[in-house]
Amino acid sequence: MQWLWSPLGISLPDHQLICPEAISIGLAEVDMADLVFVPRSDYRIDEDDFGHVGIATGEDTIIHATKWKNGVIEEPLSSFINRGYLGIRRIPEQYYCRS
């Protein structure tokens, strides 16, 4: 996540520091930069495992890393959550560290 935000001049702290403060939102409210969580591809969900995460583009698509296509892809939100849906979180702007 930090690598993706860096070119935009935003430096996010480690996810473990921001997750407790992230705002849970509904699927109908998803907007650009929201984090969308789905089960991992191996379907292993531990108590401390938040699964696989994608970033909403605001255009009904998600950007996420994938092993099977060897890189970062953009796909429809509906396809991304079709594998399961764990929730959506919005990172409050006070956690952005502009560089």
Residue range 40-60: mean pLDDT, rounded: 74
- Alpha helices (H) in 1-99, listed in sequence order: 2-5, 15-18, 77-81
Q: Tell me the pLDDT band of 99, cut-offs 50, 70 and 90.
A: low
Its pTM stands at 0.75
Q: Tell me the pLDDT band of 2, cut-offs 50, 70 and 90.
A: low
For the chain, which residues make up each domain, given as ranges? 2-98
What is the average pLDDT value for the chain, to the nearest integer? 78
pLDDT at 44 over 90: no
Architecture of domain 2-98: Alpha-Beta Complex (3.90)
pLDDT at 43 over 70: no
> 94 by DSSP, 3-state: which?
helix
